[in-house]
Amino acid sequence: MKDDKGRIIYVGKAINLKNRVRSYFQSSRNHTPKVIAMVARIADLEYIITASEIEALILECNLIKKHRPKYNISMRDDKNYPYIKLTNEEFPRVYITRKVIKDGARYFGPYTSAGAVHETLRLLKTLFPLRSCRKLDSKRPCLEHHIKRCLAPCAGKVDPETYGEMIKAVGLFLEGRSDAVVKNLKRQMAEAAEELEFEKAARLRDQLAAVEKVMEKQNIVTGSGDQDAIGLARSAAGTCAQVFFIRSGKMVGRDHFMLSGGEEENDQDILAAFVKQYYSQAAFIPREILLPLELGEQHLVAEWLSSVKGGKVQVEVPKRGTKRDLVSMAAGNAAIVLEEQAERLKADTDKTAGAAAELGQYLGLPAAPERIECFDISHIQGSETVASMVVFEGGQPNKNEYRRYKLKTVEGKPDDFKSMQEVVGRRYRDALEKGPVPDLIIIDGGKGQLNSALPIIRAAGLIDVPVVGLAKEFEHIFREGISDPLILPRHSQSLFLVQRIRDEAHRFAITYHRKLRSKRNMVSVLDHIPGIGEKRRKALRDHFGSLAKIKAAEVDELVKVEGMTLPAAEAVYNFFRNKSI
């Protein structure tokens, strides 16, 4: 379903598509507000006929992932998670990646953080002497080989069969099959000892001890097998799905996903949407998936996952025993995630809208200031005087509303008071007619700056808008008609908000000032080059962006600039090569 701009707003599937679509356009008495809003925006329909229900399910997953329609349930955390990649080479490498492509390699993950991946890779390097170099053309081994961290396939120190045995152990270890790794290492160690290869046997013994030490930290939760246990929790903070990864009967990790668009959907539909989206991009599908409740098309999902895995996948809802406990534990963890999410949202609110409301109370305003504008002046001894205006709405910066001003009335004569009068005059000259009108104006600079700006602001018609001055050193706030400053509590959110606004105004002004100063310096240097006038100077500046890049450019690069001739390009090149700037 598409809106009037051709954007896909919903993707769905059905055995009888005609009846499914008709149901949306019949009486809206039983429709949810979400469906009513969606139908009002539908301007066009497009359909695709597939050969089977499984093909329809796969296509639905792919289209939702690609287009992220507004009215479909979607995984908000659908980002590029890190994976561990085991390459498909004669001597494979192991490294971190965020792209899963069909290149014959094996991918393990996703991991919830890059830190977890790097920790796993460090552990692998300790357990197995894997190669880390990208090319196999070295004449002699590197230091990694001498400290027993690499078998040096680049120098021909190991054959592919021996290296391949180690890679099998790496794959088993990453799958969580530590028991199989131990069994293989013990077998290889015994064979090496029988053949009197004691050095190899000692190396395998050390690997075995390290793997067993890692296994001690893993808790057995089920008898055996690979499983994913999925739990679902909902609250005012949102919807969360938690997945427990169980490999060979051991808990090896977990992950959670925040879901959006399901506020009016039932748990069954939300769970079905999550399972389809999650496993459409999963690098590994276990033999058993444990769910908290039945899916409407559970047999179809199981058939699809079996075809993707290339082996039977069971999708079941356990009623009792250890499996049921796992699902309950996953749901409990999902609920904890939502509680933490609610606390974070509350903390974010306290820092933004809550801080603005608190500031309004301290200033005695009738309501919280929704739009706050702050001005700052920047110059060096009166040269390149600029001003910045930053805007905070709801306690958060709205950078689209930021403005910067190149001041004209005080150029070469440092006078911050006149500078402030000019900038507020330019900003509020037609504010009442054109808007927007702020709820609070902050003048950075204290009482003097405030007194210089107030007459201009009031003359522009902004009679009722509160204006305050902010002293630079201690964040004392000066108010109109009150001699004593307002001192906000030291650890209050309102003080932190004022500091953020002031720092942002200062940063924005300084950035603009530096940009103008850089342009001025560039212009002053280029003025000394014969044949470079105003047009060529501007063309060089626009093309290269900085004086350093112009200095480093060769003649053939300079001559490509619009308006430049070969003699002019040679003049620029020779000037910077023969003269110290």
Cα–Cα dist 244/234, whole Å: 18
pLDDT at 214: 56
Say whether both 544 and 511 belong to one domain. no
> Looking at the domain assignment, is residue 11 inside a domain?
no
pLDDT of residue 580: 42
- pLDDT for 31-43, tens place per residue? 888 888 899 999 9
The DSSP 8-state label assigned to residue 229 in this structure reads E
Structural domain includes residue 155: yes
Handedness of CA 110, 114, 116, 121 (dihedral sign): positive
The answer on 209 and 162 residing in a single domain is yes
Distance CA 309, CA 301 (A): 12
- The answer to whether residue 521 sits within a structural domain is no
| Position 130 confidence tier, pLDDT thresholds 50, 70, 90 | confident
- Do both 452 and 553 map to the same domain? no
Provide the token pair at 378: 């920047």
Residue ranges of the alpha helices (H) in 129-251?
A: 143-146, 160-174, 178-194, 198-216
For residues 498 and 377, state if they share a domain: yes
pLDDT at 411: 61
Please report the pLDDT score of residue 217 as a whole number: 47
**Are 58 and 156 part of one and the same domain?**
no
| Cα–Cα dist 373/392, whole Å | 7
Residue after which a domain boundary falls, among 166, 193, 216: 216
Among candidate residues 52, 72, 92, the one where a domain is terminated: 72
The number of folded domains in the chain is 5
Is the pLDDT confidence value at 280 over 90? no
As a whole number, mean pLDDT of residues 395-400 equals: 92
In a domain, 359, yes or no: no
Core vs surface per residue 195-215: b (16+ CB within 10 A) or e? eeeeebbebbbebbeebeeee
Statement to judge: residues 306 and 433 lie in one domain: no
Final residue belonging to a domain, choices 186, 216, 246: 216
Q: Is 222 a domain residue?
A: no
- The mean pLDDT of 46-68, rounded to a whole number, is 84
Euclidean distance between CA atoms 41 and 44, whole angstroms:
9
Asked whether 246 and 254 are in contact (CB, 8 A), the reply is no
Are 491 and 533 in the same domain? no
* Distance, CA of 96 to CA of 80 (rounded, Å): 12
- Name the burial class of residue 568, with classes exposed (0-12), middle (13-18) and buried (19+) by CB atoms within 10 angstroms of its CB: buried
Nearest to 510 by CA among 371, 372, 390, 352: 390
Residues 372 and 473 in one domain: yes
Is residue 353 one of the residues assigned to a domain?
no
- pTM over cut 0.75: no
Beta bridge partners of 97: 83
Instruction: Examine the domain organization and report whether 339 and 463 are in the same domain.
Output: no
DSSP structural state of residue 454: H
Segment 310-352, tens digit of pLDDT: 899 999 999 988 889 889 989 998 999 899 888 888 888 888 9
User: Do 193 and 323 reside in the same domain of the chain?
Assistant: no
- Residue 1 domain-assigned (yes or no): no
- Assigned domain for 442 exists: yes
Question: Which CATH number characterizes residue 457's domain?
Answer: 3.30.420.340
Q: Can you count the helices (H) and strands (E) in the chain?
A: 20, 16
Length of the chain: 581
Residues 374 and 511 in one domain: yes
480-500: per-residue pLDDT in tens? 888 888 999 988 999 999 999
Burial 95-125 (b: 16+ CB within 10 A, else e): eebeebeeeebbbbbbbeeeeebeebbeeee
Residues 126 and 263 in one domain: no
The domain containing residue 434 runs over which residues? Answer: 366-515
Q: What is the CATH number of the domain that holds 338?
A: 3.30.420.10
Higher per-residue confidence, 504 vs 33:
504
